[in-house]
Amino acid sequence: MEKPNLFLSAVSFPSFVKKDIAALQKKYTVHIFQFHAFPKWQTPFIFLRQLFALLIRLRITDAYVSEFGGYHSFLPALIARLTGKPALIIVAGTDCVSFPSIKYGHMRRNCLGRVTRWSYRLATHITAVHKSLLFCEYTYQDRDHRHQGIQAFCPGLRTETSEIPYGYEVDFFRNVAAAKTPDSFITVAMGANDPARFQLKGIDLVVWAARRFPHYTFTVVGSDLPQQAPLPSNLQTIGVVDAERLRALYSAHEFYLQLSISEGFPNAPCEAMLCECIPIGSPVGALPDIIGDSGFILMQRNRELLATLLEQAVNCEKARLSRAARQRIIERFPLERREKELTALIERLLESSRRRKK
């Protein structure tokens, strides 16, 4: 039997997008279009290229999938609406929020925000990696909108929504170290050399904590940091590393820090927890559900509260919590769960489309 055809649009291909594609390719023929409009003046030309690709495959395409909402999700959703075929948008973070204080989020931008909202209204279904991306009351800091999520910025949205969390390869990410360095903290922050992402990922708090606690050790993986002042000697930065090196780094540390201002469903804390790092995170996105009772939540973006929390963490039952952290990801977020739920959703959308055509 011939596989159904999916037209999948994405801006880039981080690991979580690649995993979705691999899962979908087991059951579908997937045509991938990369909407890579850089520099920005190329955007109209990428729209034309995407339109041509969509029209070429118009007859054979059974459904449209967009990883994140944005410019790249608009034409697939529009063509799906015009042809009566399903359009699924997978939302995962920046496409659902507005944080003007750090210049982050599609919804703060005039043109991109408008096109993203049009996409959501045209789509057949929106699935979020966490329910907070649909709507939440935001309390971590008070410089931005108190309500976040698609429904906060698209009032009256009628598109059907659901929640399907990311999943993780629990056999690969595991503790491979003979022992962990006492009182050691690690975080992953790609692109933190950019001042906005430096704040977004909470690296300013990590640097402050390293100065406050010179007897603890801190590691930032994924980028160099802005050299506004000399970094404390107990903080090391490591650039981009491969998966095996990252696993070794997680395994060597006792705690994982994710003190972000905004998140969707961050991968790094889940991978670190599988390597038996005790998580410490902010109350944003999926982090409270990821961490649960296996770690600690910084309820407000406050340095003194962070200092108290770190002192509490280094004196916790480390052996018990590190085991609980790994077990939580194994039980709640295995890769097989996402694969099963995502394909089941697409099957339901395809079947609904077939019924309407009869």
Report the pLDDT value the prediction gives residue 228, as an integer from 0 to 100. Answer: 63
pTM of the model: 0.93
Say yes or no: 189 and 321 in one domain.
Answer: yes
Tokens standing for 55?
């029209």
- The verdict on residue 263 lying in a domain is yes
Say yes or no: 139 and 250 in one domain.
Answer: no
Q: Are 220 and 203 in contact (CB under 8 A)?
A: yes
As a whole number, mean pLDDT of residues 165-180 equals 94
Q: How many CA atoms lie within 13 A of 261 on its CB side?
A: 26
Q: Residue 229 — very low, low, confident or very high, per pLDDT cuts 50/70/90? A: low
- The verdict on residue 275 lying in a domain is yes
- The verdict on residue 173 lying in a domain is no
Say yes or no: 87 and 109 in one domain.
Answer: yes
Q: What is the pLDDT of residues 278-307, one digit of tens each?
A: 999 999 999 999 999 999 999 999 999 999
Which residue in 153, 173, 151, 155 sits closest to 163, CA to CA? 151
Residue 356, pLDDT above cutoff 90: no
As a whole number, mean pLDDT of residues 85-90 equals 98
Domain count, the chain: 2
Q: Are 247 and 261 in contact (CB under 8 A)?
A: no
Say yes or no: 148 and 228 in one domain.
Answer: no
Q: Residue 227 — very low, low, confident or very high, per pLDDT cuts 50/70/90? A: low
Residues above pLDDT 70, as percent of the chain: 99
Report the pLDDT value the prediction gives residue 196, as an integer from 0 to 100. Answer: 85
Residue 41, pLDDT above cutoff 70: yes
- The verdict on residue 86 lying in a domain is yes
| Distance linking the first and last C-alpha atoms of the chain | 20
Say yes or no: 239 and 124 in one domain.
Answer: no
Higher pLDDT: 224 or 172? It is: 172
- 122 contact partners, CB below 8 Å, separation of at least 6: 74, 77, 78, 80, 81, 87
Say yes or no: 157 and 259 in one domain.
Answer: no
Any idea which residue has 């390597």 for tokens? 275
Q: Residue 194 — very low, low, confident or very high, per pLDDT cuts 50/70/90? A: confident
Burial class (CB in 10 A: 0-12, 13-18, 19+), 236: middle
Q: What are phi and psi of 141, to 5 degrees?
A: -145, 160
Expressed as residue numbers, the domain containing 277 is 181-332
Q: Are 260 and 132 in contact (CB under 8 A)?
A: no
Residue 164, pLDDT above cutoff 70: yes
Say yes or no: 126 and 150 in one domain.
Answer: yes
Tokens standing for 260?
């972000």
- The verdict on residue 82 lying in a domain is yes
- The verdict on residue 256 lying in a domain is yes
Longest pairwise C-alpha distance within the chain: 70
Any idea which residue has 């097989």 for tokens? 336
Report the pLDDT value the prediction gives residue 35, as an integer from 0 to 100. Answer: 95
Say yes or no: 289 and 347 in one domain.
Answer: no
Q: Are 341 and 164 in contact (CB under 8 A)?
A: yes
H/E/C letters for each residue in the chain?
Answer: CCCCEEEEEECCCCHHHHHHHHHHHCCCEEEEEECCCCCHHHHHHHHHHHHHHHHHCCCCCCEEEEECCCHHHHHHHHHHHHHCCCEEEEECCHHHCCEHHHCECHHHCHHHHHHHHHHHHHCCEEEECCHHHCCEECCCCCCCCCEECHHHHCCCCCCEEEECCCCECCCCCCCCCCCCEEEEEEEECCCCCCHHHHHHCCHHHHHHHHHHCCCCEEEEECCCCCCCCCCCCCEEEECCCCHHHHHHHHHHEEEEEECCCCCCCCHHHHHHHHCCCEEEECCCCCHHHHHCCCCEECCCCCHHHHHHHHHHHHCCCHHHHHHHHHHHHHHHCEHHHHHHHHHHHHHHHHHHHHHHHC
Say yes or no: 22 and 88 in one domain.
Answer: yes
Rounded distance between C-alpha atoms, residue 251 and residue 26, angstroms: 32
Say yes or no: 148 and 229 in one domain.
Answer: no
- The verdict on residue 171 lying in a domain is no
pLDDT, averaged across the chain: 95
Say yes or no: 189 and 324 in one domain.
Answer: yes
Q: What is the pLDDT of residues 107-128, one digit of tens each?
A: 999 999 999 999 999 999 999 9
Report the pLDDT value the prediction gives residue 38, as an integer from 0 to 100. Answer: 78
As a whole number, mean pLDDT of residues 326-348 equals 96
- The verdict on residue 301 lying in a domain is yes
> Can you say how many angstroms the Cα of residue 93 is from the centroid of all Cα atoms in its chain?
6
Residue 332, pLDDT above cutoff 70: yes
In CATH, what number is assigned to the domain containing residue 246? 3.40.50.2000
Say yes or no: 156 and 254 in one domain.
Answer: no
